Amino acid sequence: MNVPDDLKYTKSHEWVRTEGDTATIGITDHAQDELGDIVFVELPEEGATFDAGESFGSVESVKAVSDLYTPLGGEVVEVNSALEDAPEKINEDPYGEGWIVKLRTSEEAELLSPEEYEKVVEEES
C-alpha cells in the first residue's frame, strides 16, 4: 500500500496536498484498490463552494458508487476534467494524474498523518 509521506489524509480515504491557499484532493491508493476499476467520476462545477465534511462528487467502480468528501470548506478552482474520459487514471496514478479537485480554502482541518492513516486502514481490514 502506497501512502506518500508528503500528504495528509482523511478517514474517508481522501488525500490532501496543501500549497498556500490551494488544497488538491484525490483518493488514496488503498481506496482505489478497494473500489476496483473506476468507470465514472462525477466532478463538481468550477466555482462551486463546499463546507467541510460535504460531498463534492462521487466515484463509480464496477462494484460500487462512493461519495467524495472534502475535509476543508472552500471554492472549487479547478477540476481534473481529464478524468471524464479517463477515469482509470485514478487507479493507475491516484496521487498524480488521478487528482480530483483543487479547492481555494482558508480553513485548516485536522487531517491524518501518513502514519495515522495507515493505522485507520489496518483497523478497517
Partner 1 sequence: MPFNLIRDKGREGRRGYTLPKPDVEMKELESILPKASLREEKPRLAEVDEPTVVRHYTNLSRENEGIDTTFYPLGSCTMKHNPRANEAAAVVPGFAGLHPLQPEAQVQGALRIMHELQGFLSEVSGLPHVSLQPLAGAQGELTSILMVKEFFEDAGDEGRTTVLVPSTAHGTNPATASMAGFKSKEIGLDQHGCVDVDELREMVDETTAALMITNPNTCGVYERNIAEIAEVLHEAGAFLYMDGANMNANMGRMRPAEANVDIMHFNLHKTFSTPHGGGGPGCGAIACSEDLAPFLPDPAVQKEGDEYSFVRPEKSIGRVATFHGNFGQMLRAWNYIRMHGPDLKDVTDMAVLNANYVRAQLGGTYRIPYDELCKHEVVVQPPQGKKALDIAKGLIDYGYHPPTIYFPLVVKEAMLIEPTETESKETLDDFIGTMLELAETSEEDLEEAPTHAPTRRLDETRAARQLKARW
Q: Is 71 in the site for partner 1 (CB under 8 A)?
A: no
Outline where the chain has alpha helix (H).
29-35, 82-85, 88-92, 114-124
CB nearer to partner 1: pick between 88 and 97: 88
CA angle 78, 20, 104 (to 5 degrees): 35
The one-letter code for the residue type at 114 is: P
Which part of the chain contacts partner 1 (CB under 8 A), choosing from 13-21, 36-44, 72-80, 98-106?
A: 36-44
Q: Is 101 helix (H, G, I), strand (E, B) or coil?
A: strand
Which part of the chain contacts partner 1 (CB under 8 A), choosing from 2-10, 59-67, 92-100, 111-119?
A: 59-67
CB nearer to partner 1: pick between 7 and 41: 41
Q: Is 107 in the site for partner 1 (CB under 8 A)?
A: no
